[in-house]
Every structure is written in structure tokens, then in C-alpha cells.
Amino acid sequence: MIRPLLVVCAVLVIALWTALVVGPGDVGHAQVAATLMGQEVPMVAHALVWDLRLPRSLLAVTVGASLGLAGAIAQGLFRNPLAEPGVLGVSAGAAMAGAVALAAGLDAAGPWAIAFAACAGAVGVLLVLMAWARADARLSTLILCGVALASVCGAITTLVLSIGIERWEVGIKVVRWLMGSFDGRSWSHLGVGATTLLVGGAASVWLRQDLDALQLGPDTAASLGADLRKTWRVGIGAVGVLAGICTALTGVIGFVGLVVPHVARGLVGSGHGRLLPASALLGGTLMLLVDLLTRTVTAVALPPGVVTSLLGTPVFLLVLARLRTEVT
């Protein structure tokens, strides 16, 4: 059970080192090591490694870990293996709120303004879903509700973009943000991402036992002493903050929250005490590998969300097919 996670840790370390060495400019292993140890290196090498590659790579790990964690919490909360911020429309809600905030010029108020708006959008969608799930918690209903919410949010985002045709600079700003990227992200972005992950991590520690109890059904969980209302509130808040701030930092990145908890479950089992940290570890590793791929395969920068969607869609269909088989 532990060995696969050690392998993932090793992959993460190797990928992180590769991310620091690979890229434009002539920066070798020795210069990377010297930069990390604070030794004298040429200014360009220092800029490439310390100012650009290191914060970018660590942010990719942080965002991937946050999305993996958000997916695992959402799946536990909704007792549904397809509950994921992207599928449930949470990412679309965050994107919609972020796009509206950008169009309104709130980005001038500072980097936290868009993050706050995106969080509000994510939490708003989750609250609607939560109300719906209480009345009818069936898988198909939940997914359809998520599709409907994502559709509404997508329509509002399109409306913002259509206004952007008349205001070109707004349109390009929103499109660039929606496409998402780790490019040009600094230590201050990493600070926001790391703080978010810490908050989400603390919430997951608090939630782990109640989420385990919830898998037995709400009534049984309540009889075991779980405070369901508080669990819902903390869980919804954690997923909203994790997905919302990640979307604000790097744009919409789908399917990480869906794929990663499934793989983690296969490695460490269904107990949330291990599932949640394993999802974070796997999510961070996957996102770093995706970022490494998108910035080295072509000279043109690819949005990471494109790659995660290409990888995640087949997994989503696979899980859906497996669930159908189990039901029949």
C-alpha cells in the first residue's frame, strides 16, 4: 500500500528536477543545483530557474494537489464516484464568476479579487447542487443538475465574451484567463496556491472520519455521531475554495478531480484518512507532468486544461461504463 505512493513520490521528485532543467536557454544540471543552493550563477540562469521554472512547477504541483483533494472530498460528500468540480459544474461556476469579475474590471483591485469572485461562483454552484442532492441524490440527477448548471454558467461566460467582441481588450483578457496557463506565474501566485492547499488540507483532516461514516448512508453516519450539517458546510466550503482559487490562478482545468481519486482509491483503498492525502500527492504529480508536457512538446504554449480534458474524458467514460455494469 505504501510502496506505490513511494513510487509516486519518486516520480514527483524526478519530474520536478526535470522541470527545472528542461526548457529554453542553456541551463544544465550543475547550474540548477547551484541556483537552488544559493550559489553564484549567471543572471539569466538564475532568472530561468528561480524566478520562472521553480514557482511555476511548484504551482502546478499545488494546483494539481488541490484539485485532486477537491475531487476526493466531493466524491465522498456526494457519495458519488463521478462527483468532480468539473463534472458538477463547479469549475464552470468559478470560470463564469471570474470572467464576469474580469469584464467588470475587478482585477484592478488586486490578485485576490478574481480569486474571491471565482470562489464565490464555485460555492454558489455547490450550494445549488447540495440543495438538489438532498431532494434527489441519484447519480443521474446529480450529473444532469451539474450539466445544467455548467450550461447556465457557460452561457453567461459566452455573454461576457460576446460583449468582449466590442471591447477587444476585455475579450482577449477573459479568453486568455479561461484558457488557463502556468506561464509567468510568480512566487506570489504560489503563495496563494499553497495557502489554499493548506486550508483544504486542514479541512480534509477534519473531514476524513465523517466522510468515512457518510459512505454508510446519512442516517448511519448520524447515528455514528457525525455532524452532517457541519460536514456538508466544511466540505462544500473546502471544495469551493480549492476549485475556485485553482481556477482563478490557472484557468479551468478539468478532470483532475475525477481521475486522481479513482487511481488513489486503487492504490490506498477507500478510507479517507489515506485517500485524501494520496489524491493530493497523485494530483500534484499528474499536474506537474502535464505542465512539463505542455511546455516542452511544442514551442507554442499549450493550455494545461486541454491535456487534462484529453486524458480525463476516456477515464470518465470508463468509470461511467463500470458503474452501468455494476447497476445492471
Partner 1 sequence: MKRLAVALLWLSACARPSTEPSDTVRIASVTIDSDATLWALGEATRAQVVAVSALVDDARYSPIVDVWPAELPRVTGTSESLVALRPTVAFVAEWSDPTGRSLLEQAGIDVVVLSGYGGFDDYKARVRTIARAVGAAERGEALVTAFESDVADATSSVGRGKTIISYSSGNVAAAGTTFADEAEAAGFVNLAAREGLEGHVQVSLEQLVAWQPDVIVVPCEADCAATERAFATQPGVAATPAAKAGLIVALDPVLLFATGPRMVEVTRALGVRLAEATQ
**Given the rule CB under 8 A, which residues bind partner 1?**
23-25, 43-44, 46-48, 51-53, 55-56, 168-169, 172-173, 176, 181, 183-187, 295, 299-301
- The nearest distance, CB 256 to partner 1, in angstroms, is 21
- The nearest distance, CB 250 to partner 1, in angstroms, is 14
- The nearest distance, CB 100 to partner 1, in angstroms, is 20
Alpha carbon distance 56, 129 (integer Å): 33
If the CB atoms of residues 173 and 309 are measured against partner 1, the closer one turns out to be 173
- The nearest distance, CB 11 to partner 1, in angstroms, is 23
| Gyration radius (Cα) of the chain, Å | 20
The amino acid at 302 = L
Alpha carbon distance 14, 7 (integer Å): 11
Asked whether the beta carbons of 114 and 108 are under 8 A apart, the reply is no
If the CB atoms of residues 163 and 205 are measured against partner 1, the closer one turns out to be 163
- The nearest distance, CB 165 to partner 1, in angstroms, is 9
If the CB atoms of residues 13 and 175 are measured against partner 1, the closer one turns out to be 175
If the CB atoms of residues 169 and 219 are measured against partner 1, the closer one turns out to be 169
Give which of 64, 20, 9, 124 is closest to 283, Cα–Cα: 64
Going by C-beta distance under 8 Å and a sequence separation of 6 or more, which residues neighbour residue 167?
none
Asked whether the beta carbons of 35 and 46 are under 8 A apart, the reply is yes
The amino acid at 251 = G
Q: Which three cell numbers stand for residue 296?
A: 516542452
Residues 161, 173, 110: CA angle, nearest 5 degrees: 120
Asked whether the beta carbons of 65 and 284 are under 8 A apart, the reply is yes
Residues 262, 271, 254: CA angle, nearest 5 degrees: 30
- The nearest distance, CB 326 to partner 1, in angstroms, is 44
Neighbouring C-beta atoms of residue 10, cutoff 10 Å: 11
- The nearest distance, CB 304 to partner 1, in angstroms, is 12
The amino acid at 129 = L
If the CB atoms of residues 144 and 172 are measured against partner 1, the closer one turns out to be 172
Buried b (16+ CB within 10 A) or exposed e, 225-250: ebeeeebbebbbbbbbbbbbbbbbbb
If the CB atoms of residues 81 and 183 are measured against partner 1, the closer one turns out to be 183
If the CB atoms of residues 6 and 168 are measured against partner 1, the closer one turns out to be 168
